Structure 1
């Protein structure tokens, strides 16, 4: 009992005891704290300076983002430099604005990884060159919204970026709008179409279906060479077409089977190419006076297609018609489209008649176009 009582008395004494402030070695504690903070910082710094986790991951220290060149639903595209090279930087905020749900954010992350997985393996003169990407951008600084301010702002930590070569010629849609009245020389039409066809043929040879082929997703360099861009919805072609369903793409370019939610394959890109080929020739937009709903219904149920001008050479018109055939099996493969385009004779003109000129065969008019 005495032992037990002694133990209780000792515990009570400890509980009631105080440490005298004048007995604490504050200088020693400061030194210990500094050492601990330094050790923690070095550990964190070591983690942040580790090499890329994936072969496609970039060194953010080499990336300098300058100014925005385009904005979209889930992010923006900036111009910048990476290791001294001119680049375009696609930033996705992954729902950091608080409006996207966790499910939507997860889908965006998956889409990003899918885009990178597709893109970093590709190498072709008519496919935009992939530089790299980053999943973690806590150290990334972007220009502030104010164009007059030199200040920088931090990007949300869950954001990601894709870095690709910068093409100064803008996108194909902008180029066609610029030439809407003047139109393009036939040889230019065929050159641009061939670039697109060769790029798509390459993608299809790698079992990749782009799924959003449109003039906005085609970029031009200063020499008017075209390169396919934006693989945000691209995916490796499924062995079973039934595994590829869902309305993915842009209305006006979407194949009937995609609009109906039916199984589809790479031939949906061929259909979209046919619409783009018409756009390139006419320097115009298909179905300008119809709503999205009307276009969707008419393409599927009334076989609606853009009207081919009478001045269009029959060989080119036939390529358009074959590409946008309602039956995917009747559409040519893109490698055949390349051969058909290569066989076209552009020496006698045949381009779209500019607005204000009399109707007739363009070969009677003086050669024009860039």
Structure 2
């Protein structure tokens, strides 16, 4: 004898609403995106361009009433290599969680508008503070070593964290250190487009990439390298803050390569009046021999001594 089917009670309006919300949430946090929120480019109010690289541009933007930075690929031809570079940066930012690393907010993987949204850091870059020509508002940060070296130390703390996570940034420079507003700014390391896991170094495309004035000798020579290329670049940035000058200004890459491979302090001028602790830090961080460069944890500790000496000088 067949049994009559048992019908389920109809869903209440609250249950329908809850299921609808769960569907929306599953679309925003899909398995493909590894739990990252998604956005569509038409949802974003795009403002002024902040920076531009070889394949992408960064803009001030607003998404869901929130100020943010929009980085989007502008190359009309989306090659597999370009898609891989984009995905690499997304995954790097996704796995890194640190107070001195910019926070990834959402990702758009819809071609051709491959884009990411990160927090917007209102104080500008370390480069702009050091070398900017625009008038600075009253009460803004002073561009002197005693003020800026503690900020650089924060970037060093972030870099030490990256290395502990087996990540090599490969493009440490003053343009990629952002500062929050105020008299006690927080440094935020950004632009992970060239970052790689340590096991992936010296493989694939763009393996010798970087920004010439901050590049270590082994990158110019296309030799095997490790995370100490970041230490070298960080040392160059410390010199930049202490000297308030652009490193290797007006030199071509071959000239820079010769200087960093053959001269003490990578060919950068180091006055006798600088504290001994600073000269020792630069001598080790800018060594032409990678195995003579200290770990970032050591550099950060040494920088504390440098900061104290600048404060009393």
TM-score, reference length from structure 2: 0.80
Give the number of aligned pairs: 276
1:254 is matched with 215
| Residue 122 (structure 1) aligned with residue 96 (structure 2) | yes
- Equivalence map 1:209-358=2 (5 Å): 209-223=168-182, 224-238=185-199, 243=203, 246-302=207-263, 304-344=266-306, 346=308, 349=311
8 Å CA contact 2:202, 2:208 repeated in 1: no
Tell me the SS of whatever aligns to 2:54.
coil
| Residue 59 (structure 1) aligned with residue 39 (structure 2) | yes
Write out per-residue CA displacement over residues 30-79 of structure 1, whole angstroms, 9 at most, x where no aligned residue: xxxxxxxxxxxxxxxx99x9444412242337533233333333232111
- How far 1:246 moved relative to its partner? 3.4
For 1:127 and 1:253, locate their aligned partners in 2 and report how far apart those are by CA, in whole Å: 20
8 Å CA contact 2:270, 2:279 repeated in 1: yes
For 1:179 and 1:281, locate their aligned partners in 2 and report how far apart those are by CA, in whole Å: 19
- How far 1:345 moved relative to its partner? 5.4
8 Å CA contact 2:231, 2:285 repeated in 1: yes
Structure label with greater radius of gyration: 1
Distance 1:270 1:345, change over 3 A: closer
Distance 1:252 1:206, change over 3 A: same
For 2:278 and 2:289, locate their aligned partners in 1 and report how far apart those are by CA, in whole Å: 19
Which structure 1 segments of 5+ residues have no match? 1-45, 137-156, 351-362, 364-370
- How far 1:334 moved relative to its partner? 0.5
Tell me the SS of whatever aligns to 1:59.
coil
- How far 1:302 moved relative to its partner? 4.7
2:60 is matched with 79
- How far 1:242 moved relative to its partner? 5.6
Write out per-residue CA displacement over residues 253-279 of structure 1, whole angstroms, 9 at most, x where no aligned residue: 111111111111111000000000000
1:132 is matched with 106
Task: Give the alignment's Cα RMSD to 1 decimal.
Answer: 2.7
8 Å CA contact 1:267, 1:333 repeated in 2: yes
- How far 1:111 moved relative to its partner? 0.2
For 1:307 and 1:275, locate their aligned partners in 2 and report how far apart those are by CA, in whole Å: 11
Which structure 2 segments of 5+ residues have no match? 1-22, 135-140
- How far 1:281 moved relative to its partner? 1.0
8 Å CA contact 2:99, 2:188 repeated in 1: yes
- How far 1:159 moved relative to its partner? 2.2
For 1:289 and 1:50, locate their aligned partners in 2 and report how far apart those are by CA, in whole Å: 50
For 1:281 and 1:291, locate their aligned partners in 2 and report how far apart those are by CA, in whole Å: 23
For 1:109 and 1:332, locate their aligned partners in 2 and report how far apart those are by CA, in whole Å: 35
For 2:252 and 2:237, locate their aligned partners in 1 and report how far apart those are by CA, in whole Å: 19
| Residue 175 (structure 1) aligned with residue 129 (structure 2) | yes
| Residue 166 (structure 1) aligned with residue 120 (structure 2) | yes
Distance 1:347 1:233, change over 3 A: closer
Write out per-residue CA displacement over residues 314-338 of structure 1, whole angstroms, 9 at most, x where no aligned residue: 1012111110111111111011111
8 Å CA contact 2:38, 2:107 repeated in 1: yes
Tell me the SS of whatever aligns to 1:238.
helix
- How far 1:193 moved relative to its partner? 2.0
For 1:242 and 1:184, locate their aligned partners in 2 and report how far apart those are by CA, in whole Å: 37
- How far 1:347 moved relative to its partner? 6.4
TM-score, reference length from structure 1: 0.68
